[in-house]
Structure 1
Amino acid sequence: MRLYGRHGITKWNMPDPQTIRAYDELARQQAAFQRNQRPESIYRLITAFFHHGRPTADIGSGSGRDVAWLEQHGYPTIGFEPSLGMINEARAAYAGINVQPAALPDLAGVADASFDNVLCVAVLMHLPAAELIGAAVNLARILRPGGRFIVSYRTPPPDGERAPDGRLYTTIPPARLTLLLESVGMRVLLVEEVPDPSRPGIQWINVVGERGLTVRV
């Protein structure tokens, strides 16, 4: 994994290990829950903003639900997921989808400028706050100039940033994320907040943007 010394980060960048462990241990239940949800606000944004027919990445692809939806709607997609348990569930549920192991913040093994669309749903809140800089850099890195991204994340549980099963829910103010994305060469086009359709009190923040001609690191 890379060091981002120019940003003052002096440790190895990595995802939150307790969160990955929780998804591995609860993969079957989590995959079933995700498959029973239909994120209409995300699918609306994909249809409105993504480049149709162009290479697409689903970062943190989880159950494979969104990879399958994207493929069915004309967006050739590769899913990238850090939990091997969730990868196995996705491959079992959706025969033929392409899901590979990779994790934010580094996205090691994912080539530069290889996608015209990047989807990243329910991922950033699982990263430690210090890793958000590296995550923004690498989301921009894998996009081609003019490529579009959709990032969606939820508010933390009411009792704090760590759920009982160990998953991390970092608080990310939308204004801070906007500044961070713009600092690495992304242009934010839309920010919206929508309620979770089945869980009262949970809000989702959806951010849509576009990569400029250069990525700042």
Structure 2
Amino acid sequence: MPPTEKRRNWTCEEDLVLLIQAAADQLFAAEKGGVTKAWQALADTLIGCEHFVRVVDGRRVQNRFTALVEEHRRFDKASALLSGVCEEEKEKHVIAAAKKNDTASQDKDKVEQDALIVRDVAMRTLKRRKDCELDELKRKSPTENRRNSLAASIEVEGERELLVREKELEFQRFKFEAELKERERLRGLDREEMKAERDHQVLLARIESEKMLTMFKAVAEAKK
């Protein structure tokens, strides 16, 4: 059980990291009875991430994810009436929508779509944040500029990490497609084996019937 921390609201950046990691882990594919372990594994991964400083466990992560999905549902209902919603909030809802679709279906097209959405949203968020920081650097003192140069270097590392995450998502998609093809191949083999077994049983029954008929004819001939 992780140590307790002072309660504070989740930031948009923390929500984004949670949704990206949830997309990579594909929690919807967890086997029955392993959902709790899957959420705890996700929490452990987040704690080990240098860009995620919140102390969480599986229950807290699952509760926050559920809250984001509910928030997205409310957003859908109100979107026709609202305007001027900030871009960062829209991005959260885009990722939440992708994860809600994942929970409902393991279809290959959804996996591909979710990977593209997560990549696009994450990269646009990083680019926008980097552009804003560069504008601020031009207006600050040399000391502040040196300090923020270090922050910019850290941001570049974060971008590299997201590129690695993109590769992981691509691998997960490839693995999912391979598993689908393998299951389809095995189902095809099972059908062929069942048909061959039925044909074999029919042939054995026919041979046995012919043997009995021949024996009856021989007995009848012997009695004449």
TM range (shorter): under 0.3
Pick the structure with more strand per residue: 1
TM-score by length of 2: 0.26
Q: Which one has a bigger Cα radius of gyration?
A: 2
